[in-house]
A and B are shown apart, each in its own frame.
Chain A
Amino acid sequence: MSTAASKLQSEPTSRPSNALAEFCSSLEERPGLAILDFAPVNQGTISFVTNYGHKLYAEDFLHQLDQCFGVETLNQLGIEPGPDLLEHHANPLLASRFFASALNFTDESFDGALVWDSLEYLAPPLLEQAVEKLHRILRPGAYLLALFHADSPFDSRAEPAGASSSYRIQDGRTLMMTPRPYREFAQVFNNRMLERMFQDFGSVKFFLTRNNLREVIVRK
């Protein structure tokens, strides 16, 4: 790949987001909300959320996933990494280590969660636990914003599998996406799977976007 092309791919891009607009409208209800952000910490989201008078908790969820299920950690624990790291998401010992650092909050701690596309990188046993913990730590009426890539591999508009990005709020209707290194999806979801995933929540609302990145607003 040419230097120019690789540079182009690493440039941040912006896109309008109706789901983000809906999430942000919930921030206007009252000050002093507690918002959880799964993205790597960034100035844009911090400034946007705190300018409303809210608190932001930065979690960097995928960093913690790598810390617990990465090759280096597995080697330190004497576990053979093998060809498929996602298989280790079913390991109860590793899962308990992971949740000791990630999503380790008291019940009903948050009024909103910016989950972005993080759930796509969790294999089923870990995914179910993560969603259960999200349900537990959100207050009734809280909003959750999640993104899922298209389930149609034949759709030319779909972003390629593993086209991972780091997300941040540019303004109340616009997302900024910075490409991240390739990361394998654990699974790709359709609407029915997503409804089942969030069945314990009060409502699930889908927004299908031009590039087939499915935006989801879930309300507890």
Chain B
Amino acid sequence: MSTLPSRPAESGFDPARGGTAVLGKSVIVKGQIFGREDLTIDGEVEGTVELQEHRLTVGPNGKVTASVKAREVVALGTIHGNVEARDKVEIRKEAKLVGDIRTARIVIDDGAYFKGNIDIVRAEAPRVASAPKPAVPVAPTGTSPGPGNGGPAK
């Protein structure tokens, strides 16, 4: 067996690691895009884009008129449509996004344009394996903190 460290191909594209696909600025796609790798769109897309575990980047020339689902969405161009990103949405300066956003975290630069609803979905705390129930019910000792009780982070 070779002891040499494995290298990505000369082109820099390493399919084993999952590369980044690119739709260049002269490319127009109408329809559905599903992917299992990161995707950069610098052209025009109309339809739906779904990259469940990966990142979608809409480049400065990109125009996406579609509902988008991805792990992470970075907008430098234009998106018209609802965006659902499990981890994060970034809307950079000069970007334009019209649609509703549902994500865990959002970063918006000053100068970006956004019109729509922002719904931050808090990641649920990992569930602890259910403890054995006591034979005798235990009286509550206090109120548990509900969502929003803590107020905004300072």
Question: What is the interface residue range for chain B against chain A?
Answer: 20 to 34
Q: What 0/1 readout, one digit per residue, does chain B (110-131) give for beta carbons within 8 Å of chain A?
A: 1011111111101000000000
Contact B117 A53, beta carbon cutoff 8 Å? no
Q: Are A51 and B114 in contact (CB under 8 A)?
A: no
> A48: which B residues are within 8 A, CB to CB?
152
The one of A34, A51, A178 in contact with B153, judged by C-beta atoms closer than 8 angstroms, is: A51
Chain A interface size, as a band, is: 20 to 34
Q: How far, in angstroms, from A51 to B115 measured CA to CA in the complex? A: 20
- Residues from chain A with a CB closer than 8 A to the CB of B114 are 41, 58, 60
Within the complex, which residue of A34, A52, A178 is in contact with B148, where a contact is CB–CB below 8 Å? A52
Which residues from chain B contact A28 at a C-beta distance below 8 Å? 148, 151
Q: How far is the CA of A51 from the CA of B118 in the complex (A)?
A: 12
Given A42-B110, A43-B108, A46-B106: A31 in contact with B147 (beta carbons within 8 A): yes
A-B contact pairs, 21 of them (CB 8 A): A28-B148, A31-B146, A31-B147, A34-B117, A40-B113, A41-B91, A41-B108, A41-B114, A42-B108, A47-B152, A48-B152, A50-B106, A50-B120, A52-B151, A53-B122, A53-B148, A56-B117, A56-B118, A58-B114, A58-B115, A60-B115
**Interface set of B (CB-CB < 8 Å, partner A):** 91, 106-108, 110, 112-120, 122, 146-148, 151-154
Q: Which residues of A does B touch, CB under 8 Å?
A: 28, 30-32, 34, 40-43, 46-60, 63-64, 171-172, 178
